[in-house]
Amino acid sequence: MTISLALAETPAAPPATGAVCSLPALIDRARSRLAEARTSAEVLEARAAAKAALHYAKLLEAANETQADCLSIIKRAELRMADEIDAAQQRGEVARANAGGANLSNGARSAGTVPATFGELGISSQRVAEWRELRDAGERVIDEAIQAALDEGRAPTNAHVRRAVEARHHRTRFTGENEWYTPAEYIEAVRACLGAIDVDPASSARAQETVRASRFFTRDDDGLRHDWHGSIWLNPPYSQPDIARFVDKLLAEIGAGRVCQAILLTHNYTDTGWFHAAAAACAAICFTRGRIKFVSATGGIAAPTQGQAFFYFGADVDRFRTTFGGFGFIR
């Protein structure tokens, strides 16, 4: 497969008003175009066709599953584009940076010419970076994000997939290169507020060098299978469906009377069902000013694309305000 110049993303025009039964045909056409695509231009055409079908599905208020089919095709086209661009850069057809490159006409580059720039291809470097992140996350992350939205009774959107991809990069409870830790200043605030941390249900041995909980559960332990008692610090895995399951588990443990107080840290995904459930049950929330810079095992710094929220469950809201007020605003 080859990269073609002038691949500006021109959305396919939505179909003229007609019978609702034409929507399945549009989706099948987009799926077939992607399967048969042999050039990057054809991949983008398939993506545009799927986007047009999704637009039409929204106009018709089609079933969530129908919109999910459209989104799945769009995301798989973007996965392929990431591979196409990488391969073209290795062949020297596309520049590795937006510098240099003549404005040649459509078609393959001849030997000895300057590689094409992203600008000539009609795509931005930011878009290419997003496609690569999506590709690196993999189809499973896409499918799980789409299914999680469907399970919540929602039509899946690009935002759902984007959050899942970001969670893969920035979640704080995993092993190896994907393991990120909450900075010590926030853990100290948790300890000052709760008095002690009895259980950290989603953790690792390395994280406990800072958290120092009386008991903790690793990924292998699966904290969801155990009872939690006392004062809880919970920074759950941010990918779906794990985050919803950990939030549900926390609320169930509080309801059962086993947890007397807790602090939960998540991204501020205010449009999700689990966020609303936590917000309805907690005594206070601290929305951070700026974004928490999570730390890797090697000292690297993660850069989440959104802010965070600390949920407090307990009776001493004044103490929570005192210890967390400096991190953001509390409601």
Q: For the chain, where do the domains classified as CATH 3.40.50.150 start and end?
A: 176-330
| φ, ψ dihedrals at 102, nearest 5° | -85, 155
Task: Give the least confident one: 5-14, 41-50, 248-257.
Answer: 5-14
The arithmetic mean of pLDDT across residues 112-130, rounded, is 78
For the segment 45-58, the average pLDDT, to the nearest whole number, is: 94
Name, of 127-131, 150-154, 324-328, the range with top average pLDDT: 324-328
Asked if residue 189 lies in contact with residue 263, where contact means CB atoms within 8 angstroms, the answer is no
Is 176-330 assigned to CATH 3.40.50.150?
yes
Mean pLDDT of 133-147: 86
Where does the pLDDT of residue 19 fall: very low under 50, low under 70, confident under 90, or very high at 90 and above? Answer: very low
| pLDDT score, position 168 | 65
pLDDT at site 305: 67
Average pLDDT over residues 89-99: 69
- Which of the two residues, 180 and 6, has the higher pLDDT score? 180
- For residue 295, what pLDDT band results from cuts at 50, 70 and 90? confident
Alpha helices in the chain (DSSP H): 22-36, 40-59, 64-90, 118-121, 125-137, 139-151, 158-170, 184-194, 208-211, 242-255, 273-281, 317-324
pLDDT value for 241: 77
Where residue 121 falls among pLDDT bands split at 50, 70, 90?
A: confident
Residue 320 has pLDDT above 90, yes or no: yes
**Whole-number mean pLDDT of the chain?**
83
Q: Tell me: pLDDT of 223 over 60.
A: yes
176 vs 87: which has the higher pLDDT:
87
Query: Residue 141: which pLDDT band, with cuts at 50, 70 and 90?
Result: confident
Residue with tokens 């909450």: 182
Q: Pick the more confident residue, 129 or 16.
A: 129
- Which residue shows structure tokens 């443990």? 253
- For the ranges 40-54, 64-78, 191-205, 298-312, the lowest mean pLDDT is seen at 298-312
Computed over its alpha carbons, how large is the radius of gyration of the chain?
A: 23
**50 falls in which pLDDT band (50, 70, 90)?**
very high
Which of 278 and 118 is assigned the larger pLDDT? 278
Record the pTM: 0.54
| Torsion, CA 43, CA 47, CA 50, CA 55, rounded to 10 | -160
Sole residue written with tokens 């008095």: 195
pLDDT value for 108: 41
Q: What angle do CA 314, 272, 330 make, to 5 degrees?
A: 40
* Residue 116 neighbours by CB under 8 Å, 6+ apart: 3, 5, 93, 94, 95, 101, 104, 109
pLDDT given for residue 169 in this prediction: 56
Residues 6+ apart with CB under 8 A from 220: none
Mean pLDDT on 259-287: 94
Q: Is 301 exposed, middle or buried (0-12, 13-18, 19+ CB in 10 A)?
A: exposed
Q: Is the pLDDT of residue 106 over 50?
A: no
Please report the pLDDT score of residue 314 as a whole number.
97
Q: Average the pLDDT over 254-280 and give the result.
A: 93
Confidence of residue 246 (pLDDT cuts 50, 70, 90): very high
Tokens of 133: 């992140």
pLDDT > 60? residue 120: yes
Q: Give the residue-averaged pLDDT of 263-268.
A: 94
